[in-house]
């Protein structure tokens, strides 16, 4: 009787551990996919805003500029929406992944403001923003890789066999 009870407890513990591991793997996969989407969208946003600036400087028509600005700003909004997944699955505001993601968005904000009709950015400021964006992007990639490597190095959950 005691053996059956101990066996049932061990089986319940094993199933609970397996469920927790499966859940963690699903969350890790969602976070990894979210990071990839986030990086792609951030790059697309930057390229769109830079295309808009080049077209503006080349004297493109107002209609073309408006369409390009709208597309770039919609991509930026999509980036902001995607940041919610990173926020949800990483940790508090000081988590290095969240900080890097926030810095990526922050570096694009002055360009978005310019596309909305704000102040014209000087080329030196533009270069600083692009460099800040790339540094934050590199930091996000590095932190994600370190986290992924750390997760891979964790010992497997006991299977009970």
Is residue 137 in some structural domain? yes
How confident is the model at residue 71, as a pLDDT? 96
> Which CATH number characterizes residue 63's domain?
1.20.1420
Is residue 159 in some structural domain? no
pTM attached to this predicted model: 0.73
Domain span at residue 23 reads: 2-153
Is residue 55 in some structural domain? yes
Residue 115 burial by CB count (10 A; 0-12/13-18/19+): exposed, middle or buried?
A: buried
Using one digit for the tens of pLDDT, what is the confidence trace for 20-64? 665 555 556 877 788 889 999 999 999 999 999 999 999 999 999
Using one digit for the tens of pLDDT, what is the confidence trace for 75-106? 999 998 888 877 777 778 888 888 888 999 99
Average pLDDT over residues 14-22: 63
Is residue 99 in some structural domain? yes
How confident is the model at residue 19, as a pLDDT? 52
Using one digit for the tens of pLDDT, what is the confidence trace for 62-82? 999 999 999 999 999 999 888
How confident is the model at residue 97, as a pLDDT? 83
Q: What's the farthest any 2 CA atoms get from each other in the chain?
A: 86
Q: In total, how many domains does the chain have?
A: 1
Cα–Cα distance between 6 and 70 in angstroms, integer?
64
Is residue 90 in some structural domain? yes
Is residue 34 in some structural domain? yes
Is residue 42 in some structural domain? yes
Is residue 7 in some structural domain? yes
């Amino acid at each position: 009787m005691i053996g059956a009870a101990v066996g049932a407890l061990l089986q319940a513990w094993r199933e609970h551990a397996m469920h927790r591991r499966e859940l963690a793997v699903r969350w890790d996969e969602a976070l990894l996919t979210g990071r990839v989407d986030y990086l792609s969208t951030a790059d697309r946003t930057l390229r769109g805003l830079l295309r808009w600036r080049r077209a503006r400087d080349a004297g493109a028509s107002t209609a073309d500029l408006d369409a390009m600005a709208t597309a770039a700003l919609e991509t930026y909004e999509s980036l902001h929406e995607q940041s919610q997944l990173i926020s949800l699955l990483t940790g508090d505001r000081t988590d290095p992944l969240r900080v890097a993601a926030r810095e990526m968005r922050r570096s694009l904000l002055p360009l978005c403001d310019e596309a909305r009709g704000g102040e014209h950015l000087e080329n030196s400021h533009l270069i600083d923003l692009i460099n800040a964006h790339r540094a934050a992007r590199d930091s996000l990639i590095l932190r994600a890789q370190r986290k992924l490597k750390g997760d891979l190095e964790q010992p497997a959950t006991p299977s009970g066999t």
